[in-house]
Amino acid sequence: MRMKSYDLLREKIQKIADINGTMAVLAWDKETYLPAKANGLRSRQLATLSSISHEEYVSEETGELLAKSSRQRGLDIKAKKNIKVLTEDYLKSKKLPTSFIVERSMAESEAYHQWVLAKKDNRFELFAPALDKLIVLKRKEAEMLNEGKGLYNTLLDQFEPGSTTSLLDKLFTDVRKKLLPIIHEISEAKQVKSGFLQKKYNKDKQYDFGIYLLNAIGYDFDHGRQDISPHPFTIGFSPADVRITTRIDENDFSNMTWSTLHEAGHALYEQGLNPEEYGLPCGGAASLAIHESQSRLWENHVGRSLDFWQAHYPSLQKTFKPLKKVSIINFYKAINKVEPSFIRTESDELHYHIHVLIRYEIEKALIEDGLDAEGARTLWNEKYQKYLGLKIKNDAQGILQDVHWSHGSFGYFPTYSMGSFYAAQFFEQANTELPKLKEQIAKGNTFDLLKWLRENIHQHGRLYEAQQLCKKVTGKGLSLDPFVSYAKEKYSDIYGISFQI
């Protein structure tokens, strides 16, 4: 029987997904087990596969299949959505020459390699030339793809379709107006004690406890694994193979624990995508902000809740000596301590968004205003002093702390805050629809929550855009208000204050 156009299109796109999956495996290896001097040829391998994937995607055959599929009758809603999104992506990709794809891939591989060296030696000058090259390439990419949206909006759209600086400027204005006063009131209160979290915690025991937590919240080790990397990340080759990494500091218990729970949230989303839609838009995440909503929900709304630790604190106390005489209430307060910090990934839930705001403002300057790497370093240090009152002592705790720019991911950072605010809305709705959720979590049962997320968010893939999905799940679009309500309730209890705002 002759295959119909959509079936042929589906087959072709999934073959391209196979190539992209192979690249992803090589990228995962690069950040976990790649020998120190193997970067050169690995960069070439990734560049070669990138060019093959790109050429296959922008071929005339793909264009013809998309055109014919769009005219095919009897297709279901997911097939129609796949065709729509693929056509949009195809037309954008056609604007990027294969030579540029190769050049960008090589530049990203070199930049990551230099970032690792620079962070290890605390020498930004090792990374700066590679970063400058990437900035030029990303501006060039934005210029080629720009359809009157502006350069930074064009890059932002790659991660969060439909989002704009106008929307983000308003969102971060609300952050300043609504979150900064809460932070200020907490700073006036008596600080909670957390020194016991910085005692000696054996590395191997930490890793094993991370595995325990992953099993507890439903991460499927038959379809994934956890390893160690300089910067924690999640990478999915398909719903059948979703891997995460964490990092461990023997003198900081928090580092591993919430990195693991954060990446697990990403991984649970990837494992919950529809395998029948593999490689197609409806088999992928709705957006980066929706992806981030899943990680922040599990990391904070679940993983930093008193309910969660009522179930797991006894096991934690048995594992680590420094916690044997620490009450669960004092532990709960300590893991939610609010104070300015240098490192975004180690920040509390409130200051976290100031870290994101700083990166957002710098990214816009890099892409729109001609700022270079050295200028970004200076601006970074100035903004940490201005917004957080912190004087950056070295580049490892400053501009070198995040891996994202070494990957060429400009326009990514704002999705972290958006994701946190989506998470608050989703968790609020989950509690409404699952009235016994808090009791279940306190008993160690998070599977009803995972089932709710799978049914309401994961299974849809990109069938709905982020705002559409939020309205479908919660009845309204993205709003900061549920997060503000959550923060006031939580931190008034921890710090014993009644917010006057």
Q: Return the active site residues.
A: 263
The H or E element spanning position 224 is: strand 224-228
Using N-to-C axis directions, what is the helix angle for 352-368 and 128-145, rounded to 10°?
70
Say which amino acid occupies 368.
Answer: E
Q: How far is CA 248 from CA 119, 200, 300, 305, in A?
A: 16, 12, 19, 22
- Find all residues with CB under 8 Å of 420, minimum gap 6, and list them: 292, 293, 296, 300, 349, 352, 353, 483
User: Are 216 and 232 contacting, i.e. CB atoms less than 8 angstroms apart?
Assistant: no
- Sole residue written with tokens 């930004």: 124
User: Are 379 and 362 contacting, i.e. CB atoms less than 8 angstroms apart?
Assistant: yes
User: Are 367 and 359 contacting, i.e. CB atoms less than 8 angstroms apart?
Assistant: no
Q: Which tokens hold the place of 436?
A: 């016994």
Bridge partners of 429, per DSSP, are: none
Radius of gyration (C-alpha) of the chain in whole angstroms: 23
Q: What is the strand order of the sheet 234-238 is part of?
A: 224-228, 241-246, 234-238
User: Are 404 and 360 contacting, i.e. CB atoms less than 8 angstroms apart?
Assistant: no
User: Are 463 and 274 contacting, i.e. CB atoms less than 8 angstroms apart?
Assistant: no
CA atoms within 13 A on the CB side of 118: 26
CA atoms within 13 A on the CB side of 294: 30
Question: Which residue, among 372, 377, 416, 357, has the nearest Cα to 139 in the 3D structure?
Answer: 372
User: Count of CB atoms within 10 A of residue 215's CB?
Assistant: 11
- Sole residue written with tokens 């204050």: 497
Q: Which tokens hold the place of 344?
A: 């975004």
Count, residues in the chain: 501
